[in-house]
C-alpha cells in the first residue's frame, strides 16, 4: 500500500446537526508531518473524490507559527460531539491548486489605507492616524467606510436619502489596557490606539478569504523584576488580522499584542483588553440586544421604522462589557445617538466578528449575531492531523 502524498486531517463538527462552513486551523502541525509547500495547497475529499480549494495564510512574517490553513467544506458534514470528540469527515492536504477558483476577495492598498473587498463588502481601513493631514489624529486603524452591496452602513440613513456622509463615522479599536505585574505600581497600563498609525505586516488572498495583518506603531511597556529590581523594557505593537470571506457580510478580526524585549532578546505576547468605538447612524433610537448571560455578542439595530433598517453586530471570544450609547464623556450632544463604545475582557488574543446588515429587523439581526458567535467563535469547526 502506498503512502498518501499529503497529510490526512479529520474535521470535527461540534454541533448536533449537519453543518458546513469554513475551517481555520494551524498550519504548523500539518507542515511538521510532511513537507508541503504553503504557496499552493488544496484538499482532497476522499469520499467524493473531489478537490477542495484551500489557502495558507502567513499572518505574521516574523512568526511562522501563526500561519493557518483555511478552507471551506464542500458540503455539510454529519453531526458530531460538543466536545469535539468525534471526527465527522476526512480530507487529505496536498500541494496544488484547485482549478478555476477565483480569489474570494481583494486587498487593495491605496495611499493611507487599505480596502478589503468581497462580493458584498467594501471596507476602507485607515492606516494613518491623521489621514487628511488636518490635525484630526484619531483615525488610526479605523474602518471609516463600510459598504454592504454598495450602501454605506456607517451613515446609511443619509445614504438612503442621498445626502452627505458624517466625516467622523468609523468603527475603531480605540484603546487597550495591559495588566501590570502584581508588584508594579498601577494596576493597568492604558494605551490609546486611535492616535497611532498602523503599517501592513502581511496580506494574502486566496479562494476562501482575503486577509490583511496590520501592526500598530510601537509603544513602550516597562517592567521591573520583583527581586533584582532590574528594569526590563518591551517594545509593543498591536497586531490585527482582518479578513473578508467569500460571500460573507462580516469582517473577521484576530488581535494579539506582540512584545519584544529591549535589544531583541526575546519576543512574547502580552495579555490585554481592548476598547471599541463605533460612530454609526442607527437612528435616534437604536435598539441594543445584549444578553447578560451570554455577554460575548450583541447587536445594535436601527429603529425598524427607519430605512434602510440596518444594523451592526459584534461577537467575540471574550466577554463584552456594557454597550454605552453614548460613551461616557462623549463631547457632542448633537451626534451622541450615533456613538457607541464597549470593552472586551483580557486575554492573550481576541477573535471578533463584525457583521453589517441592511433590510433587517432588530430581532433578525440579533439572531444573526448569535449565530455568527456560535459558528465562528464559540463552536467553530476544527481540524486535527491524523
Partner 1 sequence: MALSIEEIAREAAVTKLGLDKAVREYFDTLDARLEEADERAQNTPVNSDMMFAALSLPIANGLIHFASTREKLISAEVWIREQLEDTRQEDVDPLATLSALTLIYLVHEGYVRNRADPKKAETWNRMIGRVKNLQKI
The contact set with partner 1 (CB under 8 A) reads 157-158, 160-164, 281, 283-285, 303, 305-307, 333-334, 336-337
In the complex, the smallest distance separating the C-beta of residue 308 from partner 1, rounded to whole angstroms, is 9
Percent helix, strand and coil across the chain, each rounded to 5? 10, 45, 45
Closest to partner 1 by CB, 29 or 304? 304
Closest to partner 1 by CB, 336 or 363? 336
DSSP secondary structure, 134-191, as one string: SS----TT-EEEEEETTEESTTHHHHHHT----TT-EEEEEEEEEEPPTTSSSSEEEE
In the complex, the smallest distance separating the C-beta of residue 71 from partner 1, rounded to whole angstroms, is 42
In the complex, the smallest distance separating the C-beta of residue 245 from partner 1, rounded to whole angstroms, is 31
Closest to partner 1 by CB, 47 or 284? 284
Backbone angles phi, psi at 145, to 5 degrees: -150, 130
Closest to partner 1 by CB, 158 or 385? 158
Closest to partner 1 by CB, 169 or 318? 169
Closest to partner 1 by CB, 152 or 296? 152
Alpha-carbon distance values, 27 to 203, 237, 241, 275, 284 (Å) = 17, 24, 16, 30, 47
DSSP secondary structure, 250-313, as one string: EEEEEEEEEEEEGGGS-EEEE-EEEEEEEE----SS-EEE--TTSTTEEEEE--TTSTT--EEE
In the complex, the smallest distance separating the C-beta of residue 194 from partner 1, rounded to whole angstroms, is 25
In the complex, the smallest distance separating the C-beta of residue 301 from partner 1, rounded to whole angstroms, is 13
Backbone angles phi, psi at 321, to 5 degrees: -75, -170
Locate 5 and state its grid cell: 502524498
Is residue 55 a contact partner of residue 278, using CB atoms and an 8 Å limit? no
Closest to partner 1 by CB, 213 or 283? 283
In the complex, the smallest distance separating the C-beta of residue 159 from partner 1, rounded to whole angstroms, is 10
For residues 44 and 91, what is the distance between their CA atoms, to the nearest angstrom? 5
In the complex, the smallest distance separating the C-beta of residue 164 from partner 1, rounded to whole angstroms, is 7
Closest to partner 1 by CB, 132 or 284? 284
For residues 207 and 55, what is the distance between their CA atoms, to the nearest angstrom? 7
In the complex, the smallest distance separating the C-beta of residue 281 from partner 1, rounded to whole angstroms, is 7
Is residue 11 a contact partner of residue 382, using CB atoms and an 8 Å limit? yes
Q: How many CB atoms lie within 10 A of CB 300?
A: 25
For residues 135 and 130, what is the distance between their CA atoms, to the nearest angstrom? 6
Burial of 249 (0-12, 13-18, 19+ CB in 10 A): buried
In the complex, the smallest distance separating the C-beta of residue 165 from partner 1, rounded to whole angstroms, is 11
Amino acid at each position: 500500500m502506498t503512502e498518501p502524498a499529503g497529510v490526512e486531517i479529520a474535521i470535527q463538527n461540534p454541533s448536533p446537526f449537519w453543518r458546513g462552513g469554513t475551517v481555520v486551523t494551524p498550519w504548523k502541525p500539518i507542515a511538521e508531518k510532511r513537507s508541503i509547500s504553503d504557496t499552493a495547497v488544496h484538499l482532497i475529499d476522499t469520499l467524493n473524490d473531489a478537490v477542495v480549494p484551500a489557502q495558507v495564510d502567513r499572518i505574521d512574517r516574523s512568526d511562522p507559527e501563526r500561519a493557518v490553513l483555511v478552507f471551506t467544506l464542500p458540503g455539510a458534514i454529519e453531526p458530531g460531539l460538543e466536545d469535539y470528540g468525534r471526527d465527522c469527515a476526512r480530507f487529505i492536504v496536498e500541494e496544488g491548486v484547485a482549478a478555476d477558483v477565483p480569489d474570494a476577495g481583494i486587498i487593495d492598498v491605496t495611499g493611507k489605507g487599505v480596502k478589503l473587498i468581497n462580493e458584498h463588502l467594501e471596507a476602507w481601513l485607515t492606516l494613518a492616524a491623521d489621514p487628511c493631514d488636518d490635525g484630526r489624529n484619531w483615525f488610526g486603524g479605523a474602518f471609516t467606510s463600510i459598504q454592504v452591496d454598495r450602501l454605506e452602513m456607517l451613515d446609511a440613513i443619509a445614504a438612503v436619502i442621498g445626502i452627505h456622509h458624517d466625516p467622523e463615522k468609523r468603527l475603531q479599536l480605540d484603546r487597550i489596557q495591559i495588566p501590570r505585574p502584581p508588584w508594579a505600581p498601577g494596576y493597568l497600563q492604558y494605551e490609546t490606539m486611535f492616535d497611532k498609525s498602523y503599517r501592513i505586516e502581511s496580506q494574502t488572498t486566496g479562494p476562501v478569504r482575503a486577509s490583511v495583518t496590520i501592526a500598530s506603531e510601537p509603544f513602550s511597556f516597562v517592567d521591573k523584576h520583583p527581586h533584582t529590581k532590574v528594569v526590563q523594557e518591551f517594545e509593543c505593537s498591536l497586531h490585527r488580522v482582518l479578513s473578508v470571506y467569500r460571500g460573507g457580510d462580516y469582517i473577521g478580526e484576530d488581535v494579539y499584542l506582540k512584545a519584544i524585549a529591549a535589544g531583541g532578546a526575546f519576543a512574547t505576547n502580552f495579555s490585554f483588553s481592548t476598547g471599541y468605538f463605533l460612530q454609526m447612524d442607527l437612528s435616534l433610537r437604536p435598539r441594543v440586544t445584549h444578553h447578560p448571560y451570554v455577554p460575548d455578542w450583541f447587536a445594535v439595530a436601527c429603529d425598524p421604522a427607519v430605512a434602510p433598517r440596518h444594523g451592526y453586530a459584534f461577537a467575540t471570544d471574550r466577554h463584552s462589557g456594557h454597550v454605552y450609547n453614548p460613551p461616557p464623556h462623549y463631547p457632542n450632544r448633537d451626534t451622541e445617538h450615533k456613538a457607541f463604545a464597549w470593552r472586551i475582557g483580557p486575554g492573550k488574543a481576541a477573535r471578533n466578528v463584525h457583521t453589517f446588515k441592511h433590510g433587517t429587523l432588530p430581532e433578525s439581526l440579533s439572531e444573526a449575531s448569535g449565530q455568527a458567535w456560535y459558528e465562528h467563535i464559540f463552536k467553530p469547526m476544527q481540524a486535527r492531523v491524523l
